[in-house]
Amino acid sequence: MRGMYLNCDPKSLPASFAAMSDNSKLYKFPENIAQGYLIYDTNAWSTPPIEIYQEQVFIASGWFIYKQKLNPLALLAKDIVEHGPSVLNDILAGVFVIYWKNGEQTTLLTDALGLSTHYIDRLASELRIAPSVKALLTDKHTLNNDMQSILGKKQHLFGNFTLYNEIERLQPGAAITSGTELSYFTFYDGKAIEDLGEYVNTLTEFWPYDTRILPL
């Protein structure tokens, strides 16, 4: 399963790990940075998506369009360091979680809509995330009876809840550290529905024609 595994191991999902497609690649974080892994799309990234700017480290999971470019991680890293996470409001579209290490401070930056579904272990003393609840489960986590009841009745859950206490979906549009979650997202007026076709066409131009697909 593609995504970022921080302080956990993707091999804890053996079936998903064994089924990694030809266009997915495993990247292990440098040991002096963190204990982490990234399974990334080689169609989106020709090299592992890591950038270092002014000794601050950025590792991206997913994709984003920023300043009319697809995945300009070096440019985004520079702007975050110089202007703060609020520059993420200038992302045209994206599905991402970005790991940001500044000295001893580690921050996770999530896309505004939370489309890059990753989960966080609230019981861990350090940031521990994965794109699957199972990768985070330990014998210390307990089932939430209320969530079990809701899932049985509605067939889905709400918000950032999961079936387990202290495992939650990462908050969308936020800068998350081990102690705080700060929203960077600023809501702008939506586009008129008659302009959506043109907007979609603008987005698709960032990908080669033969790689485009529109799920229905």
pLDDT tens digits, one per residue of 95-142: 999 999 999 999 999 999 999 999 999 999 999 999 999 999 999 999
- Between the CA of residue 208 and those of 32, 43, 44, 176, 202, what are the distances in Å? 36, 10, 11, 34, 13
Whole-angstrom distance, CA of residue 99 vs CA of residue 107: 6
209 CB-near residues (< 8 Å, 6+ apart) = none
The residue among 95, 105, 102 whose CA lies nearest residue 40 is 95
- CA–CA–CA angle 67, 70, 75 (5° rounding): 55
Predicted pLDDT of residue 78: 98
Contact 4, 59 (CB under 8 A): yes
Instruction: Provide the pLDDT confidence category of residue 172 given band limits of 50, 70 and 90.
Output: very high
Instruction: Provide the pLDDT confidence category of residue 215 given band limits of 50, 70 and 90.
Output: low
Contact 119, 164 (CB under 8 A): no
Predicted pLDDT of residue 19: 72
**Higher pLDDT pick, 216 / 68:** 68
pLDDT, tens only, 180-205: 999 998 876 677 888 888 878 888 88
The 8 Å CB, 24+ separation contacts for 79-88 are 80/109, 81/53, 81/54, 81/56, 84/184, 85/109, 85/175, 85/182, 85/184, 86/184, 86/186, 88/112, 88/173, 88/184, 88/185
**Higher pLDDT pick, 187 / 56:** 56
Whole-angstrom distance, CA of residue 77 vs CA of residue 163: 35
Predicted pLDDT of residue 11: 87
Instruction: Provide the pLDDT confidence category of residue 39 given band limits of 50, 70 and 90.
Output: very high
In whole angstroms, how large is the CA radius of gyration of the chain? Answer: 18
Predicted pLDDT of residue 214: 67
Burial (CB count <10 Å: 0-12, 13-18, 19+), residue 29: buried
pTM, 2 dp: 0.90
The residue among 155, 34, 47, 163 whose CA lies nearest residue 103 is 34
Instruction: With H, G, I as helix, E, B as strand and everything else as coil, classify residue 121.
Output: strand
Look over the chain and give the mean of its residue pLDDT values, rounded to a whole number. 92
The residue among 25, 99, 98 whose CA lies nearest residue 66 is 98
